[in-house]
């Protein structure tokens, strides 16, 4: 029964995938690019070298986390469009603590990580609180909070004690706070020699390999466990489907609304923290607009059907096509913006859940007709 | 044996020259493995009101959906006015003069009556200009002809449910329907509206329209219908002339067993007050006082019925007791302890359980399994969860136990989503949940709404069991029969006030009817 259910859930996803790449291909043809070569280059950009694969994994960590954040809120009946702002608050707090504090390694990261998670959690909980207390729609509040976070980022970034002149970037965070793996080893002479001998190692070491993916994995497992095994998770799911029943059976819907938004914010904040501590240049840059990790979380959660495990795979998938598109642009010259079209079409197909049924029915009928004709 | 007799008596009633308006013969229909209809026959004479009686899931609606062209039968044939037809889509059914009024109305709320009725068959003058004047005139004429008294220029959202239903009827008449199918038409109506509807049905029949009513309300069949076809599990049992049978007999034929109305248990003269409400004032969402100084007492081992027309404060009363709504002033005490304006959790812990009015909206989580719905109130209790971790195995055992004890069907349904269960069985799940934690007070709001007679009987038995256990029950219902049958004492609520509390034995339906519309108020 379980297997059957899984199949039932995956079929529409693969249909959406096919649809996305098909429509994307049509667009490429219209613009005079070769879709097959483009897609092959994209695949190459994902799988051809271990470096690429590592890059996909590294880039997927913040996406998985923001996806998870949106998914958890969705499960409890809330639309966390504020993942972007929460991500930014997490990044900001982590950056400040990473630059200003001086602590031993590991402890430094743990301290700033916890602070970032709590700060972003509170940022999210503000929307939850206003919804619970005054019934204000969390979507509106979250969008406003996103902009507040954005300009807060700009304001702090503009402080002279943070800025490096002529670079348009902040000071880097201290090395004690960084979470890149093998960072130290790379610089020792002994390892340098070894890296030079072994191209596989040198390849991987060129990337920003960091522990972010393990944080994301841990979060996926924790949230999966939380939703399926704990009483609080049960309350979240109940109010997510039917909040009237939830209050009727004595659940504290208001408190859970705040709590849900807090946890969702915290997860997004974690994404921000691992991004600044794990990816070079370990600095804040002057933002022209939103980085988009939070907003990408929305469609990652949607494609994952709000399942935590699903977020893991959908995060990896979107990270993969993002990374693969770089090589596609370099090698074939196809503009990487095509992945936005593909993503859009995939979401469209997933949002129309009966579409794959229509197609399947049509194919079935055709098959039957053929059989009859041959008879 | 009895069957032969009835068939004969039926024939005697029929004028020989008439041809059936609708004749469905040996209809079979299956959905996958589920054999919904197994050879059903239906003959409806023109100008008559014909009831289709059966429990939930007996196949009534499937049969009518076939007639309306939503489904196509696997075997069998249909003739309209003696001519065999093959109805393959709803449009064809309309062309044959068949119109259906669904239980859930399909009206555009912001449109006027005339706009709604024209929708899909707009009258135009010139190229695409709608001729509202003519449409209004035609619809008004039609409305007057059948005494529907519908104002065609009014917007649907300003109309009562009863009037909206008339608009639906007018809509099918406007499309030239000669055969009207009404699906559970009185389910959403107040008793006054239901009376009016029955009058309308009579008018229509006397204008030679043919009406088929899907229902499980036997008293209404007795009042308006000429014939009644009883369907049981996809097979039709028989067609009878309504006058030849009394309500008990019809009910028994529907559920295949005798309906015995259990004589009311005498109240043991208990002095122990469980629930005490004093001078309660509650406002609704718009700030209008919906409960205005209500005082009530419910004693152990007693069923207190609250009778009244809908929208007189019943909803707010229940919400106040369960702490889902703020109390402005006054007190609600259980066992002498004040509970108003605390939390629902506290109310539940104080020993109050409630059966909600709308089981889909506030009683169940339709996407959850049966087991998850059963544990909704007790998931935090040991041993179902420890340190915030739920024990799925114990919860399933608990659910299996209740499924067996409360005879919820299908058996072993603990892990099936509850939306796959029939309405009656969903209600059983709620009752199992609300009764299994042994509450001192059970607040039952419309506990039998939308259920068939077998399930109603079941719910009533469960309420009586509670009473036998010396528990207090507050029964709030819009069905006067139910209140009269079940209660020891009856409180009549009108305009947010309790205008009378009477002993059930010492009152009559007439007296109650008068009180419910404020007649007893000085």
Mean pLDDT of B182-190: 79
For residue A228, tell me if it sits in a domain.
yes
Q: What is the pLDDT of residue B8?
A: 45
Confidence of residue B12 (pLDDT cuts 50, 70, 90): very low
> Could you tell me which chain A residue has the CA closest to the CA of B360?
A245
CA distance A19 to A27: 12
Of A231-240, A340-349, B100-109, B162-171, which range is least confident?
A: B100-109
Given an 8 Å threshold on Cβ–Cβ distance, is A234 in contact with B366? no
> Could you tell me which chain A residue has the CA closest to the CA of B364?
A245
Q: Are residues A158 and A101 in contact, defined by beta-carbon separation less than 8 angstroms? A: no
Nearest chain B CA: its distance from A228 CA (Å): 9
- Looking at per-residue confidence, does A6 or B463 come out higher? B463
For residue A6, tell me if it sits in a domain.
yes
Q: Are residues B238 and B41 in contact, defined by beta-carbon separation less than 8 angstroms? A: no
Mean pLDDT of B387-392: 90
Q: Are residues B216 and B53 in contact, defined by beta-carbon separation less than 8 angstroms? A: yes
Whether A85 and A218 map to the same domain: the answer is: yes
Average per-residue pLDDT in chain B? 84
Q: How many domains does chain A have?
A: 2
Residue B147, SS3?
coil
Q: What is the pLDDT of residue A187?
A: 65
Please give the distance of CA B19 from its chain centroid, rounded to a whole number.
Answer: 34
For residue A108, tell me if it sits in a domain.
yes
- Look at residue B127 and tell me whether its pLDDT is greater than 80: no
Whether A155 and A20 map to the same domain: the answer is: no
Residues in chain A predicted with pLDDT less than 50, given as ranges, are 1
Q: Are residues A242 and A75 in contact, defined by beta-carbon separation less than 8 angstroms? A: no
Whether A252 and A172 map to the same domain: the answer is: yes
Q: Which residues of B touch A (CB under 8 A)?
A: 322, 324, 343-345, 347-348, 354, 356, 361-368, 372, 376-377, 379-380, 385, 388-390, 392
Q: What is the pLDDT of residue A257?
A: 96
Could you say which of A231, A238, A250 has the minimum Cβ distance to residue B365? Answer: A238
Whether A191 and A116 map to the same domain: the answer is: yes
For residue A353, tell me if it sits in a domain.
yes
Residue A300, SS3?
helix
Size of interface A-B (CB pairs under 8 A): 61
Q: Answer yes or no: is the ipTM higher than 0.85.
A: no
CA distance B291 to A103: 64
Chain segment B338-351, per-residue pLDDT in tens: 999 999 999 999 99
- Looking at per-residue confidence, does B186 or A338 come out higher? A338
Residue A72 lies in domain: 34-334
Q: What is the pLDDT of residue B11?
A: 46
Whether A330 and A347 map to the same domain: the answer is: no
Given an 8 Å threshold on Cβ–Cβ distance, is B348 in contact with A250? yes
Whether A45 and A154 map to the same domain: the answer is: yes
Q: Which residues on chain B are in Cβ contact (under 8 Å) with A230?
A: 385, 388-390
Residue A278, SS3?
helix
Q: Is A241 on the interface with B (CB under 8 A)?
A: yes
Closest CA to B289 of B322, B310, B317: B317
Query: What structural domains does chain B harbor?
Result: 1-96+215-260 (3.40.50.300), 262-351+439-522 (3.40.50.300), 362-437 (no CATH)
Q: Is A232 on the interface with B (CB under 8 A)?
A: yes
- Look at residue B309 and tell me whether its pLDDT is greater than 80: no
Could you say which of A234, A241, A245 has the minimum Cβ distance to residue B379? Answer: A234
Please give the distance of CA B52 from its chain centroid, rounded to a whole number.
Answer: 16
For residue A29, tell me if it sits in a domain.
no
Chain segment B19-35, per-residue pLDDT in tens: 888 999 889 988 766 67
Q: What is the pLDDT of residue B159?
A: 81
Q: What is the pLDDT of residue A185?
A: 61
Which of B390, B436, B439 to probe by mutation at the A interface, max A CB count within 10 Å?
Answer: B390
Q: Are residues B475 and B304 in contact, defined by beta-carbon separation less than 8 angstroms? A: yes
> Could you tell me which chain A residue has the CA closest to the CA of B362?
A245
For residue A211, tell me if it sits in a domain.
yes
Whether A275 and A368 map to the same domain: the answer is: no
Nearest chain B CA: its distance from A34 CA (Å): 46
Whether A348 and A323 map to the same domain: the answer is: no
Q: What is the pLDDT of residue B151?
A: 87
Chain segment A337-348, per-residue pLDDT in tens: 888 999 999 888
Which of B120-124, B129-133, B366-370: highest mean pLDDT?
Answer: B366-370
Confidence of residue B2 (pLDDT cuts 50, 70, 90): very low
Q: Which residues on chain B are in Cβ contact (under 8 Å) with A259?
A: none
For residue A278, tell me if it sits in a domain.
yes
CA distance B423 to B428: 9
CA distance A81 to A241: 19
Whether A289 and A148 map to the same domain: the answer is: yes
Q: Is A230 on the interface with B (CB under 8 A)?
A: yes
CA distance B243 to B260: 21
Mean pLDDT of B66-77: 88
For residue A64, tell me if it sits in a domain.
yes
């Amino acid at each position: 029964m379980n297997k059957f259910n899984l199949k039932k859930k995956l079929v529409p996803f693969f249909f959406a995938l096919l649809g996305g790449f098909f429509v994307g291909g049509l667009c490429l043809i219209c613009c005079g690019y070769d879709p097959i070569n483009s897609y092959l280059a994209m695949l190459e950009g994902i799988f051809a070298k271990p470096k690429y694969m590592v890059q996909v994994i590294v880039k997927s960590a913040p996406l998985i986390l923001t996806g998870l954040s949106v998914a958890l809120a969705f499960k409890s009946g809330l639309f966390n469009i504020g993942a972007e702002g929460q991500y930014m608050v997490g990044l900001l707090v982590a950056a400040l603590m990473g630059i200003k504090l001086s602590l031993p390694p590991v402890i430094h990261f743990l301290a700033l990580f916890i602070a970032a998670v709590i700060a972003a959690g509170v940022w999210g909980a503000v929307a939850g609180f206003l919804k619970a207390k005054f019934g204000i729609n969390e979507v509106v509040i979250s969008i406003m909070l996103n902009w507040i976070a954005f300009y807060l980022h700009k304001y702090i970034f503009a402080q002279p004690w943070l800025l490096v002149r002529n670079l348009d970037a902040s000071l880097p965070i201290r090395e004690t706070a960084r979470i890149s793996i093998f960072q130290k080893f790379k610089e020792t002479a002994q390892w340098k020699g070894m890296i030079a001998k072994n191209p596989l190692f040198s390849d991987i070491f060129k990337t920003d390999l960091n522990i972010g993916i393990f944080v994301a994995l841990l979060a996926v497992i924790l949230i999966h466990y939380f939703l399926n095994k704990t009483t609080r998770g049960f309350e979240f799911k109940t109010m997510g489907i039917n909040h009237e029943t939830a209050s009727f059976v004595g659940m504290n819907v208001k408190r859970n609304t705040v709590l849900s938004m807090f946890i969702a914010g915290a997860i997004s904040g974690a994404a921000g923290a691992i991004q600044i501590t794990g990816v070079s240049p370990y600095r804040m840059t002057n933002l022209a607009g939103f980085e988009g990790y939070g907003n990408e979380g929305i469609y990652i959660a949607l494609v994952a059907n709000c399942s935590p495990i699903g977020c893991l795979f959908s995060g990896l998938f979107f990270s993969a096509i993002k990374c693969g598109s770089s090589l596609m642009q370099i090698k074939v010259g196809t503009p990487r913006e095509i992945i936005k079209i593909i993503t859009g079409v995939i979401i469209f197909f997933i949002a129309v859940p009966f579409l794959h049924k229509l197609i399947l029915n049509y194919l079935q009928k055709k098959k039957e007709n053929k059989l009859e004709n041959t008879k | 044996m009895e069957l032969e007799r009835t068939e004969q008596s039926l024939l005697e009633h029929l004028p020989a020259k008439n041809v059936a308006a609708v004749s469905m013969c040996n209809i079979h229909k299956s959905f996958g493995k589920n054999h919904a209809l197994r050879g059903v026959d239906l003959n409806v004479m023109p100008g008559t009101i014909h009831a289709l009686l059966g429990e939930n899931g007996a196949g009534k609606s499937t049969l009518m959906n076939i007639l309306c062209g939503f489904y196509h039968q696997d075997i069998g044939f249909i003739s309209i006015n003696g001519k065999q037809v093959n109805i393959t889509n709803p449009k064809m059914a309309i062309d044959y003069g068949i119109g259906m009024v669904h239980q859930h109305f399909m009206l555009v709320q912001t449109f006027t009556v005339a706009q709604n009725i024209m929708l899909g068959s707009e009258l135009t003058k010139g190229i695409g200009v709608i001729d509202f004047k003519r449409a209004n005139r035609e619809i008004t004429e039609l409305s007057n002809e059948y005494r529907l008294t519908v104002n065609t220029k009014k917007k649907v959202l300003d109309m009562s449910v009863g009037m909206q239903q008339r608009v639906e009827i007018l809509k099918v008449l406007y499309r030239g329907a000669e055969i009207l199918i009404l699906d559970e038409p009185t389910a959403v109506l107040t008793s006054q509206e239901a009376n009016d509807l029955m009058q309308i049905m009579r008018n229509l029949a006397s204008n030679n329209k043919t009406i088929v009513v899907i229902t499980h309300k036997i008293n209404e069949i007795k009042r308006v219908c000429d014939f009644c076809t009883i369907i049981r599990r996809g097979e039709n049992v028989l067609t009878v002339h309504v006058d030849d049978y009394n309500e008990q007999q019809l009910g028994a034929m529907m559920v295949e067993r005798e309906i015995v109305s259990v004589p009311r248990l005498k109240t043991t003269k208990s002095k122990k007050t469980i629930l005490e409400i004093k001078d309660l004032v509650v406002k609704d969402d718009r700030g209008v006082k919906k409960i205005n100084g209500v005082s009530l007492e419910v004693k152990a081992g007693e069923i207190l019925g609250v009778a009244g027309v809908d929208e007189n404060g019943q909803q707010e009363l229940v919400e106040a007791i369960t702490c889902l709504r703020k109390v402005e002033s006054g007190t609600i005490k259980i066992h002498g302890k004040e509970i108003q304006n605390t939390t629902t959790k506290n109310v539940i812990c104080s020993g109050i359980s409630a059966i909600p009015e709308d089981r889909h909206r506030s009683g169940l989580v339709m996407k959850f399994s049966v087991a998850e719905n059963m544990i909704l109130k007790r998931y935090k209790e040991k041993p179902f969860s420890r340190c915030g971790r739920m024990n799925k195995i114990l919860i399933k055992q608990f659910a299996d136990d209740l499924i067996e004890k409360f005879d919820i069907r299908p058996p072993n349904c603990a892990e099936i989503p509850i939306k796959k269960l029939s309405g009656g069985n969903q209600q059983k799940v709620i009752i199992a949940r609300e009764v299994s934690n042994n509450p001192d007070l059970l607040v039952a709001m419309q506990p039998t709404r939308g259920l068939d007679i077998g399930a109603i009987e079941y719910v009533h038995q469960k309420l009586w069991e509670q009473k036998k256990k010396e528990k207090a029950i507050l029964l709030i219902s819009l069905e006067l029969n139910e209140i009269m049958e079940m209660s020891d004492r009856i409180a009549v609520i009108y305009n947010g006030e309790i205008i009378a509390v009477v002993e059930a034995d010492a009152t009559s339906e007439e007296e109650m009817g008068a009180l419910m519309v404020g007649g007893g108020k000085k």
